[in-house]
């Protein structure tokens, strides 16, 4: 595994547009330079194996995933308590691109693991959107999900290197991403 030159840890609330921002970054940097890593992928894959579920359906935005979300959150927390780096190690396995965008960083233990392992190449990015914008994207508050560590774990305790506002203004988003990309190019 080649060491990355830049690791961007994206975080934000559900329906803030983390995946969209991650895809925009990869598109602008190029697929030969940037890869998107998801901590939830290895989590969902292992959860599906242990519970006899359809892994592919757990990856999409379907009601199927929502049926298992709360139990999956609790199961993932148990795994993390036993080994805080379990899902982080699984996510980076085989990654060789110079820029890694981790699109779903959710906990302080995730940030700490990446900083411990990759040091100064790690930068934190918070993607924010108003509650109104998130509701337009079909977000509805769910007790036990939106107030759990998986959604609130980085609300405190991290001084983000970057804050990207993603409220649907394409021009404003583009300007913010260009500023971030200019800084990244200095590290490549």
What φ, ψ does residue 34 adopt, rounded to 5°?
Answer: -125, 135
Residue 69 pLDDT exceeds 90: no
Across 126-153, average pLDDT: 92
Residue ranges of the binding site for ATP: 13-19, 137, 176
Q: Other C-beta atoms within 10 Å of 153: how many?
A: 18
Which range has the worst mean pLDDT, 34-43, 45-54, 57-66, 68-77? 57-66
For the chain, give every domain's residue range: 6-41+97-186
pLDDT tens, residue by residue, 76-99? 989 989 999 999 999 999 999 999
Residues 18, 11 contacting (CB under 8 angstroms)? yes
> CA 83, CA 98: separation in Å to the nearest integer?
27
With 80 as the cut, is the pLDDT of residue 61 above it?
no
- Residue 1 has a pLDDT of 62
Q: Poorest-confidence range of 79-83, 111-115, 163-167?
A: 79-83
Task: Specify the pLDDT at position 62.
Answer: 78
Distance of CA 181 to the CA centre of its chain: 18
165 bridge partner residues: 128
pLDDT at residue 2 is higher than 80: no
Q: Which residues are annotated as a binding site?
A: 13-19, 137, 166, 176
140 neighbors 63 (Cβ within 8 angstroms): no
- Known binding residues for substrate are 166
Share of the chain above pLDDT 70, in %: 99
Instruction: Determine if the pTM surpasses 0.95.
Output: no
Q: What is the mean pLDDT of residues 11-25?
A: 96
What would the mean pLDDT of 39-50 be, rounded to a whole number?
91
Helix (H, G, I), strand (E, B) or coil at 163: strand
What Rg, from alpha-carbon coordinates, does the chain have? 16
Mean pLDDT of 13-41: 96
Nearest to 14 by CA among 172, 144, 150, 110: 150
**What is the pLDDT of the chain when averaged over all its residues?**
93
Query: Residue 157 contacts by C-beta under 8 Å, 6 or more apart in sequence?
Result: 108
Class of domain 6-41+97-186: alpha beta
Give the pLDDT confidence score for residue 73 in this predicted structure.
86
């Amino acid at each position: 595994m080649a060491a990355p030159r830049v690791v961007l840890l994206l975080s934000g609330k559900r329906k803030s547009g983390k995946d969209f921002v991650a895809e925009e970054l990869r598109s602008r940097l190029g697929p030969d330079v940037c890869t998107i890593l998801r901590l939830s992928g290895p989590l969902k894959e292992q959860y599906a194996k242990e519970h006899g579920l359809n892994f592919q359906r757990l990856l999409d935005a379907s009601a199927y995933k929502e049926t298992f979300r709360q139990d999956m959150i609790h199961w993932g927390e148990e795994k993390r308590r036993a080994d805080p780096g379990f899902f982080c190690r699984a996510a980076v396995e085989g990654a060789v691109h110079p820029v890694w965008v981790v699109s779903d960083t959710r906990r302080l233990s995730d940030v700490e693991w990446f900083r411990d392992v990759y040091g100064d190449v790690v930068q934190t990015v918070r993607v924010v959107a108003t509650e109104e914008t998130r509701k337009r994207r079909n977000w509805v508050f769910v007790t036990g999900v939106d107030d759990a560590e998986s959604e609130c774990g980085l609300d405190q305790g991290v001084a983000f290197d970057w804050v990207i506002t993603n409220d649907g203004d394409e021009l404003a988003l583009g300007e913010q991403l260009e500023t971030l990309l200019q800084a990244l190019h200095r590290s490549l």
